[in-house]
Structure 1
Amino acid sequence: MFQFKWLWHNLKGDRVRYILALCLSVVGCSLTIINPYIGQRIVDLFIASDDAAQRLTTERGLLVGLGLAMIGFSLLRTGLAYFTTMLFERASQNLLFRVRIYLYNKIQGQDMRYYDRNRTGDLMTKMTGDLEMVRHSLSWIIKTIIESLTVFTAAVVYFFFIDAELTLWLLILSPPIGIVAFIFARRVRPMYVDLRERLSQLNTTTQENIAGNRVVKAFAREDYEIKKFTEKSMNYSVANKAAAMVWLDYFPYLEIFSQGFAVILMLAGGLFVMEGRITFGEFAAFSALIWGLSNPMRSIGIVINDIQRFFASLAKIIEVYYANPDIVNEHKTEVKRRYQGRIQFENVSFKYDGATVLENISFKIEPGETIAIMGATGSGKTTLINLIPRFYDVTNGRVLVDGTDVRKLGLDELRCNIGVATQDVLLFSDTIDGNIAYGDPDMPEEDVMKFAKLAAAHDFIRKMPEDYNTIVGERGVGLSGGQKQRIALARALAVQPPILILDDTTSAVDMETEEHIQKSLRELDFPCTKIIIAQRVSTTAEADRILILDNGRVIEEGTHAELLAKRGYYYDVFMLQNEGIGREAMTHGQK
């Protein structure tokens, strides 16, 4: 019942339309008994009666009237069917639109852990195939059930009105049909749950392969990926066929029982006619309306199939619909203020799925300071900066911005004050101008160019086919890694944030470009606290302070000169990078 309550809740705004459609369906299907009744009158009066020839002469007007009535009721039922179908479609399409928007907003509001736990392909399946199945069920399956029950009930009532004993003989087949349908439903439901999961896996594989097509081609793994996709597709196909074959296991029984109605009518009805218990016209009415009993029974398997698909899809949609993020915007503010940019970590620890990533980290950054963070891969650098905009929340300790725990700040206000350029650059399928001005779509073109120049991106943008109006391909296709990094940096700078976080954003640029970017960052015309994750000493050397992380702990802290004097990790990295430069210079000199 919960699923139907959910549907009723989301039909808000279309409930009257949907109820009207249901009522008109009942009315329209109830009218199915009219034409058999008229046919019964025609047969009894103008065909089977002893004075049929005389009636054709004396009561021709009645015959014409009955014929026109049959045509009129047929047109009325057709018109009602068309109108109710339109109402069902309108209501279901509106529900689909509302729920899709709601789910998209819900997904947008989820925290990073949600995306870590849910596959992209699975979310795409929920937003497309599962939602369409719910819409189909609302507009067609429920409609089919209501209409079948109405026709069946109307036929039974009419048959009882003609002859109760013959009707009971016909209904003797209903219990076995119900038993077969019940067994079929219990067997097929878990199969559709499994089928839906296999479809999700197939979509995930497709999405990953398409998104990673460059890697696939770089390693010449097309055959491997085709084989993997074929395997997932085969798994889905096998599950789909298995579910279909279950229906075929029960179909013969349902079909035999459905055809049995006609056999019983022929035997028992024919006997009753010969005995004079019912008239030939009444037998004709039974024959004309017997489909009202057989068709619902015949289609019950198909309806159950779709109902099981509906429940499997709806369960997945409800998972997203009622999913609540751990990190929520509890302190919304009408007026967003600009922060000073003071950041403090107080005994911060962070665990992810039970594994310790950061442990007891404490440091303070004053407004306007530039802090560089360095450490081996997996030391916790990116996790550390992700705690500032609350992509994740600390396990222990506090992260403070301007003296306030970030968990007590408005989430939208906090993130509006932070500019982020990540190592994994994502550019949208939009113009270069649109990507740079992503944080402020109304930004003047002059400002877009200004921040592109600061990020050393202006020169290569000018060489693009349509300048700043050049459309960037999906995820930045057509741009080099360094070009994408510079556009991402311009995008982060364009919001003029009081806090700027750069996660290894110059790793793919040359030394000359990096020097230009470093100079731009030093000479920003707005106050900005900068946190830079980098592996190059040339990037970290001019920072006010450098933090060295190892296994989630700060093992060194100080200026460039102070850390060199300590002769620890930073000193080793400095010597390694400078020795490499020295060897390269000697090699070129020998050549």
Structure 2
Amino acid sequence: MFQLKWLWHNLRGDRARYIFALILSVVGCSLTIINPYIGQRIVDTFITGDDAVHNLTSQRSLLIGLCLGMIGFSLLRTGMAYFTTLLYERASQNMLYRVRIFLYNKIQGQDMHYYDHNRTGDLMTKMTGDLDMVRHTMAWIIKTIVESLTVFIAAVVYFFYIDAELTWWLLILSPPIFIVAFIFARRVRPMYGDLREKLSQLNTITQENIAGNRVVKAFAREEFEVQKFTEKNVNYSTANKAAAMVWLDYFPYLETFAQAFNVILMIVGGMLVMDGRITFGEFSAFSALIWGLSNPMRNIGIIINDIQRFFASLTKIVDVYYAEPRIVNGHNVEVKRRYKGTIQFENVSFKYDNATVLENINFTVKPGETIAIMGATGSGKTTLINLIPRFYDVTKGRVLVDGKDVRELELDELRGNIGVATQDVLLFSDTIDGNIAYGDPDMPEDDVVEFAKLAAADDFIRKMPESYNTIVGERGVGLSGGQKQRIALARAMAVQPPILILDDTTSAVDNETEEHIQKSLRELDFDCTKIIIAQRVSTTAEADRILILDNGRVIEEGTHSELVAKRGYYYEVFKLQNEGIGRQATTHG
């Protein structure tokens, strides 16, 4: 029942169309008894009746009328079937469109926790194959059920009208057919759930391999990836064959029972004709309409097959449909205010899947201040900055922006005041201009160029085939790591945010370019609080303050000179990097 309620809920806007289609299906299939009835009249009156020869001459107009009636009703049923199919398709396609938009918005509205626990390939399968299975159910499966049931009932009613005894003989096959169908449904349902999971795994492997093709080629692991894909493909193929073989196990029984209708009709019906119980015309009506009993019985297996696929797909769709983010964006702010840029961490701790990542973090950043964060890999640097725009929520303590807990701020407004350039640079399949102006699509071209210059990107952009109108490939394919970082930095600065967060965004650029970028960041013509994650002392040295993280704790805090004087972690990094520079200079000298 839940499945039907869900379908009905999502048919809003097309319910009248769909109900009208169902009514037309019932009416059209009910008309199937008309032609057998007309055929019965023709046979009894003009072919096998005692006065058949006389009637052929005296009632020729009736014969012509009956023949034209058969043709007319055939054309009417064909037209109704065509129109009905259009209605089903229109309603199901409209529903598919609405649900896909809803699911996409739902996925867009999820927080980072959701993406961390759901595979991209699985989400893609839900948005494509699973949704199409729902559309197929609305357009064909329900239609087939309604039409098969209507034809079956109409045929049974008409058969009882002609002769009850022969009808009961035919219906004796119904119970064993339903029993076989019930057993088949129970056996095949879990198999389609497993089949759906295997398909999801196959799509995930494909998506990961395509996205990571550079890494695969860099390590010459093509054969390994092909083998891994083949393994998942074999698993999916095996599951698919297993489900198909179950249907083949039961198909002979259903087909035998369906064919048995004709055998019973020939034996019992023939005896009743010889006994004079029914006329030859009535027997011909049974023969003409026997498919009304046998076809629905044949369709039971196909319907059950598709219904089980539908249940497996709908279960996955519902997981997304009713998923609620832990961090909710209400989109309630119409006029967004510009923040001053004060950031405070008060006793902040954060756990991820019960693993402690940050513990008791305390510091304050004043408006316009530049804070650098340094620490070993896995020390919690990226997690710390992810708490500011509320990509995650703290486990304990508070993160405040302009003196207000970020959990009390509207997400649109909060994130609209923060420019972020992440460590993992993602560029969209768009022009370079479009990527830089991503946060403000109406940005003038002169402004785009200006921010590209600040990020030391203008020179290499102008050397590209179509300059700022050059299309960059998926994820920035065709650009070097340093070029992608500079475009991402320009994108972050282009929204002129009061808070700018840079996650190791100069790691792939040379020292000269880095110096230019640092100078640009110091001389921004708008007020901006900057939080910079970096591993180079050359990047952190100019910061107003430097935080050193280790195992989720702040172990050192101060200016460059203060931390060098402490001779702790920062001093060791400073010494190591300066010695490396000294050795390089000696070697080149």
TM-score (norm 2): 1.00
1:508 aligned partner: 508
Structure 1 pair 325/60, CA: closer, same or farther in 2 (3 Å)? Answer: same
Q: Does residue 283 of structure 1 match 2:248?
A: no
SS for the counterpart of 1:571 is helix
Match of 1:270 in 2: 270
Q: Output the CA distance in 2 between the equivalents of 1:162 and 1:572.
A: 100
Q: Within the alignment, does 1:520 sit opposite 2:520 as a pair?
A: yes
Give the secondary-structure state (helix, strand or coil) at the position aligned to 1:229: helix
Indicate if the aligned counterparts of 1:332 and 1:411 stay in contact, CA closer than 8 A.
no
- 1:378-417 matches, within 5 Å, as 378-417=378-417
Distance 1:572 1:197 in 2: 50
The residue that corresponds to 1:38 in the other structure is: 38
Greater Cα offset, 83-92 or 54-63: 54-63
Aligned to 2:443: 443
Q: Give distance in 1, aligned partners of 2:312 and 2:76.
A: 37
CA deviations 1:47-94 (Å, max 9, x no partner) are 001221111111111000000000000000000000000000000000
Residues in 1 aligned to 2:257 and 2:330: alpha-carbon distance in whole angstroms = 61
User: Equivalences for 1:34-433 in 2 at 5 Å?
Assistant: 34-330=34-330, 332-433=332-433
The question of whether the paired residues in 1 share the 8 Å contact of 2:109 and 2:329 is answered with: no
Q: Which runs of 5+ in 1 are unaligned?
A: none
Alpha-carbon distance in structure 1 between the residues aligned to 2:121 and 2:251: 34
2 CA distance for matches of 1:4 and 1:489?
50
CA contact (8 A) 1:476 1:484 kept: yes
The residue identity in structure 1 corresponding to 2:400 is L
CA distance in 2: counterparts of 1:65 and 1:330, whole angstroms: 68
Structure 2 CA distance for partners of 1:83 and 1:331, relative to 1, 3 Å: closer
Shift of 1:22: 0.1
Tell me the distance in 2 between the aligned counterparts of 1:330 and 1:107.
15
Q: Report if the CA contact (8 A) 1:195-1:239 is conserved.
A: yes
Provide the C-alpha distance between the structure 1 equivalents of 2:308 and 2:6, rounded to a whole number of angstroms.
Answer: 17
Q: Distance in 1 between matches of 2:220 and 2:464?
A: 30
Report the alpha carbon displacement of residue 331 of structure 1 after superposing the two structures with TM.
7.7
Structure-1-length-normalised TM-score: 0.99
Q: Deviations over 1:455-487 (max 9, x none)?
A: 000000000000100001000000000000000
Quick check: 1:262–1:290 contact (8 Å CA) kept in 2?
yes
1:580 aligns with 2:580: yes
- Give the number of aligned pairs: 589
Q: Distance in 2 between matches of 1:102 and 1:251?
A: 39
User: Deviation at 1:332?
Assistant: 2.6
Equivalent pair of 1:348/1:399 in contact (CA under 8 Å): yes
Q: Distance in 1 between matches of 2:586 and 2:448?
A: 42
Distance 2:334 2:579 in 1: 55
* Amino acid paired to 1:410: E
Aligned to 2:542: 542
CA distance in 2, matches of 1:421, 1:241: 48
Structure 1 stretches of 4+ moved >3 Å: none
| Aligned pairs (5 A) from 1:457-472 | 457-472=457-472
Q: CA deviation at 1:412?
A: 0.4
**Following the alignment from structure 2 to structure 1, what is the Cα–Cα distance between the partners of residues 355 and 58?**
97
Deviations 1:552-577 (A, max 9, x none): 00000000000000000000000000
AA paired with 1:243?
A
In structure 1, C-alpha distance between the alignment counterparts of 2:162 and 2:55, rounded to whole Å = 24
- Structure 1 CA distance, aligned partners of 2:198 and 2:319? 17
Aligned partner of 1:555 in structure 2 is 555
User: Structure 2: which 5+ residue stretches go unaligned?
Assistant: none
| Secondary structure of 2:81 counterpart | helix
CA contact (8 A) 2:374 2:535 kept: yes
- Given the alignment of the two structures, is residue 492 of structure 1 paired with residue 522 of structure 2, yes or no? no
TM superposition shift of 1:330: 4.8
Residues 219-251 of structure 1: CA deviation (Å, up to 9, x unaligned): 111111111101000000000000000000001
Matched AA of 2:173: L
